[in-house]
Structure 1
Amino acid sequence: MFFDRSTRADEAGAIVVFMSPQWQTLPYSFQLSELRSNNVAEYQALIIGLQMAINMGITALEVFGDSKLIINQLLTEYEVRKDDLVPYFRLETQLLQEFETVTLEHVPRKENQMVDTLTNLASSMTLGKDEAADVLIC
């Protein structure tokens, strides 16, 4: 599972991409209700992805993210120093315990191009509260 955040001046979003062992891609895009810091948005994207994986019954998960801070905090290589990140860190820790096996790996942004492209596409397509659109992806 890949996760990423999308933040712009007036909006925030999250992208979660599940890859099957056969490399089938299941991308999901979410608009976050409030504009947050990049780190909070990254944590929120990962929370969404972990909750989805749990709901899908996935028991073994490889997690890839381009946020070195988030990955290293969850691996306990970095301390969580910002008070606003502590609740997210605690929730992530609880969610990670739901899996039989889980690995966390930092992926440099330049190697995370597919997820980054989906993130930018999703944030450019954000609709207003009363708007709707059908999007066909082939």
Structure 2
Amino acid sequence: MKFDGSSTAHSRGVGIVLYHKEDEAVVLSFKLEFSYLNNTVKYEAYLIGLVMALEMGVRHLRIIGDLNLVVCQTEGSFSLKEPSLTPYRTMAQKMEEEFSTFEIEHALRSENRYADTLAALGSQIVFGGSSTRIEASEWKESIIEILKEMFEEEKFEED
């Protein structure tokens, strides 16, 4: 899996590429319609990728990301200094444990162009009319429900 998040002053997006063999891939591009900092958007991309992989039944996962912070915090070589990232790291650790095999590695941004492009594309999506618009609270509720099902003993509260 490759992942990336795109954050500008006006928009945020997520790009995920789940590879099965070299010539098969599932690509995902999302727009985040609520305000986040850049590191948080990267963690959102990472978590969405983990959720999607688990939902698809992936048991063996190799992750490649270009944000050194997420990769090094996952490996344990960087400590978590931003308190706002603590819930993201906690959720990620619980999801990582669900895979039979799990590895993560840092890649140069040039090696992560596909996910980067999908993230940029997601951030540029413009929804027209209320019938196609997904409200932030609806989207968050969906993810929260998935996480609740995965970790029934945990209580996740919406901010």
Do these two structures clear the TM 0.5 threshold for a shared fold by scoring above it?
Answer: yes
More helix by share: 2
Name the counterpart of 2:56: 56
- The residue type paired with residue 69 of structure 2 is L
TM-score w.r.t. length of structure 2:
0.77
User: Which residue is 1:42 aligned to?
Assistant: 42
What are the within-5 Å matches in structure 2 for residues 1-138 of structure 1? 1-128=1-128, 130=130, 132=132
CA contact (8 A) 1:13 1:123 kept: yes
Alpha-carbon distance between aligned partners in 2 of 1:122 and 1:32, rounded to the nearest angstrom: 8
Shift of 1:120: 2.0
How far has the Cα of 1:34 moved from its partner?
1.3
- Is the CA contact 2:66–2:106 (under 8 Å) kept in the aligned structure 1? yes
Q: Could you report, residue by residue, the CA deviation over 1:80-108 in whole angstroms, capped at 9, with x for unpaired residues?
A: 00000111001100000000001101111
SS at match of 1:112: helix
Note the residue ranges of structure 2 that are not aligned, 5 or more in a row: 133-159
Aligned to 2:155: none
2:99 partner SS: coil
Tell whether the 8 Å contact from 2:14 to 2:120 is kept in structure 1 after alignment: no
Measure how far apart 1:44 and its partner are.
0.7
- Provide closer, same or farther for how the CA distance between residues 128 and 36 of structure 1 changes in structure 2, counting only shifts above 3 A: farther
Q: Secondary structure at the match of 1:40?
A: helix
Question: Could you tell me the percent identity over the aligned residues?
Answer: 33
Q: Given the two structures, how large is their TM-score scaled by the length of structure 1?
A: 0.88
Determine the C-alpha separation between the residues in 2 that align with 1:90 and 1:73. Answer: 11
Q: Give 1:91's aligned amino acid.
A: M
Residue type matched to 1:98 in 2? Answer: E
Tell me if the contact between 1:7 and 1:35 (Cα under 8 Å) persists in the aligned partners: no
Q: Which moved more, 1:59-68 or 1:109-118?
A: 109-118
The residue type equivalent to 2:49 in the other structure is G
* Consecutive unaligned residues in structure 1, runs of 5 or more: 133-138
